[in-house]
Amino acid sequence: MDPATIIGIVLAIAMVFGAGFMAGLNPIAIFLSDIPSIILVLGGAIGVTMASSTLSVSINAAKVLVKALTGGAVEDPAENIKTLVEFADTARRDGLLALESRLEEIDDAFFKKGMMMAVDGVDPEALREQLEIDLEKTAGRHKEGAGWFITAAGFAPGMGMIGTVIGLVDMLGNLDDPSALGPSMAVAFLTTLWGAFLANFLFIPLANKLKKMSADEIASKELLLEGILAVQAGSNPRAIATMLSSYIPPAAREAVLEEKKSA
């Protein structure tokens, strides 16, 4: 679990509210002074985003939201390299079929599928093509999830402006009552505030986090793809460790190579 998104959003809100209190304002009262404004902006942004997408993608956005906030399960590339090197040792010593009994140890569906195809003797080019198709489809699904929040970020300020126009129309319709002008104007601009707030404090950060998570997952699967093909080809385990270590940061890379050297 990576709590960076939750911590970052809370920190940003705390800074805005803290600055408001230091200036003698009450940001909590300001933001919550008109609930209909919140409903208009948030509900409107969600509604038009759903209209711009499909129902299945919109429903899945709730799951994606949780994944973005928690960071999801983080794969350890160093552990995958270690497993691939062990498989390479076994395959060189006992043949690829000897790996069949170890496939149940693999939790990652992409990893297991690739190793099963390798053990079954699928042609390397066909294996690569199939796994690359899986990568392409995975990246496409990730793009849909992040795209939903990017779209919502674009619509939220627009919903805020609609609310502002409604509020200004109401204010102009009550010019004969000067005491109502101040509150009406405050409500009118509150929707603009909520539009900017939701876009910059929620939707855009979530979209960017999902893009980062997608890039990390694709890179991890690319590592697995190259490792699986190397195991199938009967490459030297040390050469595999050296090749795959280029996919990970230098500190983790040194640990992997040292572990292989000691082994």
Instruction: Count the helix, strand and coil residues of the chain and give each as a percent rounded to the nearest 5.
Output: 85, 0, 15
The percentage of the chain sitting over the pLDDT mark of 70, rounded to a whole number, equals: 90
Mean pLDDT of 167-181: 74
Q: How many domains does the chain have?
A: 1
Instruction: Give the model's confidence band at 179: pLDDT under 50 very low, under 70 low, under 90 confident, else very high.
Output: low
**Could you tell me the pTM of the whole model?**
0.84
Most confident residue range from 60-69, 190-199, 253-262: 190-199
Q: Quick check: helix, strand or coil at residue 95?
A: coil
Distance of CA 151 to CAs 33, 74, 115, 192, Å?
Answer: 27, 26, 38, 17
DSSP per residue, 139-203 = HHHHHHHHHHHHHHHHHHHHHHHHHHHHHHHHHHTTTT-HHHHHHHHHHHHHHHHHHHHHIIIII
> pLDDT of 225-235, one tens digit each?
999 999 999 99
Give the residue numbers spanning the domain of 237.
Answer: 1-263
Burial profile 86-105: b = 16 or more Cβ within 10 angstroms, e = fewer:
bbbbbbeeeebeebeeeeee
Cα separation, 12 vs 6, in Å, equals: 10
Q: Given a cut of 80, is residue 66 above it in pLDDT? A: yes
